[in-house]
Amino acid sequence: MKVRFWGVRGSIPSPGQHTQRYGGNTTCIEVRSDDNSLIVLDAGTGVFPLAQELLRQMPVKANIFITHSHWDHIHGLPFFTPLYIPGNSVRIHGAYDVVSGRGPDQVMEVQLQYSYFPVREAEMKAGIEYETLSINEPVPVGDATVTPLLLNHPVVNLGYRIECNGKSVFFTGDHEPWLNIYAPEDEGYAEFQQMVDMQQGQLDAALKGLDVLIADSSYTAAEYPTKIGWGHGTLEGNIAWARRLGVKKLVCTHHEPTRSDDQLEQAFAAALASSDYEPGKPGEPEIMLSREGLEIVL
């Protein structure tokens, strides 16, 4: 498998001179299986430069897996140029929304309303299909398998484990580790903690044997107390998670959009230092920041 990052910022695009090294586009990750099947994880603004690259590889057959419907993970979708070209086929996968009672078809429909976008879906000439996913039920894509797992975010968020010929990668989308809402002295604390431990244990078990973990690392541990409930993880928390899982590589992504590249590197270095990370030590994962253009070969 090959994994390439096209968008790595969170919440809102942040182009400019201070984000040139890591990039200012929002989330989009390209995965190519061993037989070259195309899997696209999220359609933030990073999906547009991916689309331009795909125009050299016509016809395009793409499977787009949406983690959740917040804007920074879908607002590039109407600009995915292969959608407009006859002979291409695009299958859009996503969660069932319990509020609207709809699947991923709603993601496109809402964006293409007349008030927000000048093009109707009927003008998109590619073959477009939608698939509403079931949690923990694998989806075959060529010689790869994509398994959606339920994570923790203010809307339904699916993380995706992709496996191909013995190699595996998992992308969290946006994820905040489950947290006990009670204080330790409260009556309901122990019971709620059991639920938290069960949810985390089930996720850890589903990620057994993982090669690459791509994790929402928006905040630092020091910043997190003022961000509780916003649905995002921390650098330090994901370093601990990667160690617990025994993954080979951790890629920290969904970078806080107000951070410059210099500030991002400073926060990352501080997180590594506070975690007593020893690169190259047996059992330690390789840990890196995602950046546009980064390619990982498994």
Give pLDDT tens digits for 86-102: 999 999 999 998 888 89
Q: pLDDT at residue 256 above 90? A: yes
Domains and CATH numbers, the chain: 2-297 (3.60.15.10)
Helix (H) / strand (E) element for 42: namely: none
Please state the rounded mean pLDDT for residues 272-290.
95
Please state the rounded mean pLDDT for residues 161-174.
98
Tokens coding 82: 């292969």
Please state the rounded mean pLDDT for residues 42-63.
97
Between CA 78 and CA 75 the distance in angstroms is: 7
| Whether 31 contacts 169, CB under 8 Å | yes
pLDDT for the residue 98: 85
Q: Are strands 144-150 and 139-141 parallel, antiparallel or unpaired?
A: antiparallel
Question: pTM, whole model, 2 decimals?
Answer: 0.96
Tens-place pLDDT, residues 257-271 = 999 999 999 999 999
pLDDT for the residue 101: 87
pLDDT for the residue 100: 84
Instruction: Give the model's confidence band at 273: pLDDT under 50 very low, under 70 low, under 90 confident, else very high.
Output: very high
3-state secondary structure (DSSP) of residue 202: helix
| Whether 218 contacts 255, CB under 8 Å | yes
Tens-place pLDDT, residues 114-157 = 899 999 888 899 999 999 999 999 999 999 999 999 999 999 99
Between CA 152 and CA 161 the distance in angstroms is: 16
Exposed / middle / buried, residue 171 (Cβ in 10 Å: 0-12, 13-18, 19+): buried
Exposed / middle / buried, residue 122 (Cβ in 10 Å: 0-12, 13-18, 19+): exposed
| Whether 108 contacts 120, CB under 8 Å | no
Residue with tokens 């990620």: 207
pLDDT for the residue 160: 98
Q: What percent of the chain has pLDDT over 90?
A: 93
Q: pLDDT at residue 191 above 90? A: yes
pLDDT for the residue 243: 97
pLDDT, averaged across the chain: 96
Please state the rounded mean pLDDT for residues 197-222.
97
- Output 97 or 172, whichever has higher pLDDT: 172
| Whether 169 contacts 39, CB under 8 Å | no
pLDDT for the residue 122: 86
pLDDT for the residue 248: 97
pLDDT for the residue 242: 98
Dihedral angle, C-alpha 163, 167, 172, 176, nearest 10 °: 130
Residue with tokens 């933030």: 44
* Nearest of 11, 4, 63 to residue 29 by alpha carbon: 4
* Nearest of 118, 133, 117, 51 to residue 88 by alpha carbon: 51
CA-to-CA separations, 89 to 81, 122, 129, 161, 167, in angstroms, rounded: 12, 14, 8, 23, 26
Q: pLDDT at residue 236 above 90? A: yes
